[in-house]
Structure 1
Amino acid sequence: MVKEESTDVSENQEEPEELSPKTKAFAPTLEKEHKLKFDKILGSGSYSRVARATWGDKKLEVAAKVINITSTREKDDYIKKFLPREKEIVKLLKHDNICRLYEMISFPDHIIFVTEFCAGGDLLRKMKDIKTMNEDDAKFTFRQFIAALMHLQSYNIVHRDLKCENIFLDKHENVKLGDFGFSRILKPGEKSGTFCGSRAYVAPEILRGREYSGNAVDVWSTGVILYIMLVGSMPFDDRNPTKMIERQLAHKIKFPKLCTASVQSKALILEILQPHAPNRPTYKAICESEWLKSQPYYMKPDEHPKLPTPSTATTTPTGPQKPKDSKRQHA
């Protein structure tokens, strides 16, 4: 785990492995019945491996997440609680900035999610390459990221594992949010006490074992991610969780002396990383913030929409309007 004020923001990741013998044995059937042909292993997790593959008559390039659902005591909670939620949620979501699900395949002891392939890799790898992101690129990326989360919000879905590794990029570097393994639907007033996510990204209420509701925990994680994009390091040193929580609760966020991020971007990060969940801004308020309000939403390769001139903006209802007061979200 790379710490505060380091230019490397990566976490320890497992090296890609081969497909399991059982998956390999079933590969000819998958190719024949589902027209899914595995190519290269992209990565692996606790209970799954992700492979690049081709799918369908047109041999569309896809990512195939192969999940081992063989029952063990270690995996029991995942198989009975988390996986059913993930299956339900990925079927619901249809948005340009969310990894699209093409098909869900079941075969003995395994489930495969056939999803959109993201040729641009993930945000973690991009940040390791570029160290810091210029503000124009950061605004474009962050605006798309928030759009994806607003789509989740429309279904009362909380992701609970937002981090750079789960923000994928297509060949044009459009955001594609993925990995909904810890996601769940939290209806208004409903609470959860489950610890989810990576320690460096999760909200202080989760670290403290408190119950939470709404999407304030996801909002916190967006602040951590924005900090990483603009600064190139983590905002908090998680080697000592107790001290990290103390700094979070004291609202102490340091920016390196050499940081070139604008005053407006720093102000937004500070507003998002509020220790008291009800004080964090809504997604709408984030979009209306001083830093992000001039960034239109669009998908590349479309061109950046031209903003209306000041005179046009005051005379046409379609022009940018004065931002409303920041609305707070309540847990």
Structure 2
Amino acid sequence: MCGPRGGLTAGPNPVPILSYENLRAQYTILRTIGQGGCAQVKLAHHRLTGAAVAVKVLLKEKHQAFPITSEVRIMKRMNHPNIISLFQVIETEQNIFLILELADGRELWDWIQQVGYLQEGIARKIFKQILHAMCYCHDRGIVHRDLKPDNIMVDARGKVKIIDFGLGALVSPGTKLSRFCGALRFGAPEFFLRQPYDGTKVDTWNLGVLLYFMVTGTLPFEGSTFEELGSKVLLGQYDVPSHLSQDLRNVIRSLLTVNPTQRPTLKDIMEHPWLRQGEVCSSSHCDKMSPSHLDPAIMAAMADMGFDPRDIRESLLHRLFNEPMATYGLLQCQAHQQGGFTRQTKAVQPGITPFPTPADPATFPGCQKRTTYTPALRAFLSLSPKTDSAEDSQQVEQRTRRSVTVPIIASCCLQKRTLTHAVVWDPREPQQSGTKDTIPGACRDWNRWARRIGTHLLRTFCCLPRKKKRVGPQREV
């Protein structure tokens, strides 16, 4: 989001939220979890799968300062483990709703505010993921233009997700941009000179400010006025703490090169010795929705929900970002988590968003399903090769219980009723003599119990039409 922490963020004013009917047909909206100058983000859950998602609400306006169609095109192009995933796009007359992956963990800003600053080893691990993701973007002609710690999510395992491409742009090699946006304290010298700029070089400068903030807990350039801040940025003046290694200082100095023509590319930075230390960062996507390698268990579960397998393949092949594509992606994420990447140490209450998501509602509303697909979903979850432990079996059972379809009945039928008859037979007690000991008596007893059971069934399912009493002619007294 275009948050306030970066300071003096350029962008449109907050917008009202309109027309949620189409969205609510597929998702239950819980509450707002993000508000910025560009849009609102709401916590929701998918009715068919029960998965938690983030819904970014974009308002259509004729005179929008930043065209929202650009963000939609950008999100549709990306598929990277360190960039937030887009599952679905729902468009109405007033709004465009982006159904996004709900990023685990917390903002990098909050983490550093708590710990002060990051040690070099941890900072290197985080920064390498950001660098790989931004190289991926630049290779596809995408620039972010608002890279700051507010827009970097880090989970408990140290995995990074870059969010909010609301100020992003699609560019071709050699193209210059002229729109000035983003947080001023992260702004490149080109912004203060009001010159057309290379978007990739602006991202490089932003990453230099970000890396400095990660390892020091402060920003390199501060100023109480626009002119004061601009003069420091244009001179490239900043303090270097003594606890930073020489290699790290060189990386920061390279990223914060004032002259954009001499500023290195991100691929050049990746070859720096400081970044080549430690473990290798893989940039391959671990959960691609490839139409040529569809998961048969997910396909079976979706078929039992009511989806046509041909529609699923068509949606994934052409990346339509519609309901079948979203459902497949969310089920795939659930299977991935069930497989052990986010294995829970204790049972998770159905409907609760587990840590470390940015939301913790008391409970999600009950899911509505197209059809009763519990057997297929149970079979789908049981095919996971890593769900053979007792804890995992319990989680599978809980996920399955959440999937049960409840028939729609009138509100008067939902009242809790007291059990009035219960029979417990103890084999140690001698059977009483009487009507039960004879065949006719047993038949009469069975008929009496059958009538009782029928009466209670009619009372329980009050929506069923009751049998009308036959009215005959009255006798004269």
TM-score when scaled to structure 2? 0.54
Residue 123 of structure 1 and its aligned partner are, at CA, apart by 1.2
Are 2:281 and 1:297 aligned? yes
Conserved? CA contact 2:185–2:229, under 8 Å: no
Letter in 2 for 1:64: V
* Equivalent residues in 2 for 1:164-175, closer than 5 Å: 164-175=149-160
- In the TM superposition, what whole-angstrom CA distance separates every residue of 1:198-239 from its partner, at most 9, and x where no partner exists? 100110111210111251110000000000000001100132
Query: Is residue 2:243 matched to residue 1:260?
Result: yes
Alignment check: 8 A CA contact 2:145 2:199 kept: no
CA contact (8 A) 2:6 2:186 kept: no
Bigger Cα displacement from structure 2, 192-201 vs 54-63: 54-63
**Which position in structure 1 is the counterpart of 2:55?**
64
- Assess, with a 3 A threshold, how the Cα gap between structure 1 residues 40 and 227 changes in structure 2: closer, same or farther: same
* Deviations 1:120-161, CA, capped at 9 Å, x for gaps: 121111122222011111111100000110111111211111
Q: 2:215 aligns with which of 224, 227, 230?
A: 230
Distance 2:114 2:8 in 1: 16
Query: RMSD of the TM alignment (CA)?
Result: 2.5
The higher radius of gyration belongs to 2
Cα distance in 1 for residues equivalent to 2:251 and 2:17? 49
Shift of 1:279: 1.6
Deviation at 1:48, TM superposition (A): 1.9
Q: Which structure carries more helix by proportion? A: 2
- Could you say which residue in structure 1 is the equivalent of 2:105? 120
Query: Within the alignment, does 1:220 sit opposite 2:205 as a pair?
Result: yes
Structure 1 alignment gaps of length 5 or more: 1-8, 14-18, 303-331
8 Å CA contact retained: 1:82, 1:182: no
Structure 1 pair 56/260, CA: closer, same or farther in 2 (3 Å)? farther
Match of 1:30 in 2: 23
**1:24-82 residue CA offsets vs partner (Å, 9 max, x unmatched):** xx35x4232xx2111231121234211111125222111111122255xxxx133xx52
Change (3 A) 1:70 1:157: closer
Q: In the alignment, which of 229, 248, 266 is matched to residue 244 of structure 1?
A: 229
* Cα distance in structure 2, aligned partners of 1:93 and 1:152: 8
**For 1:47 and 1:218, how far apart are their aligned partners in 2?**
19
User: Deviations along 1:266-318, whole A, 9 cap, x unmatched?
Assistant: 2211111010012212212211112111132048998xxxxxxxxxxxxxxxx
Distance in 2, matches of 1:140 and 1:281, equals 21
Give the CA deviation at 1:107.
Answer: 2.4
Structure-2 change in CA distance of 1:214 and 1:160 (3 Å): closer
The one-letter amino acid of 1:69's match is K
Contact residue 167 and residue 182 of structure 2 kept, 8 A: yes
Aligned AA (1:278): T
CA–CA distance in 1 between the matches of 2:24 and 2:55?
13
Q: Report percent identity of matched pairs.
A: 28
Count of equivalent residues: 277
Contact 1:118–1:171, Cα closer than 8 Å, also in 2: no
* Matched residue, 2:351: none
| Amino acid corresponding to residue 191 of structure 2 in structure 1 | I
The question of whether the paired residues in 1 share the 8 Å contact of 2:104 and 2:154 is answered with yes
Larger strand proportion of the pair: 1
1:160-205 CA distances to partner (integer Å, 9 max, x unpaired)?
A: 1111111122453311112111111221121111101110011011
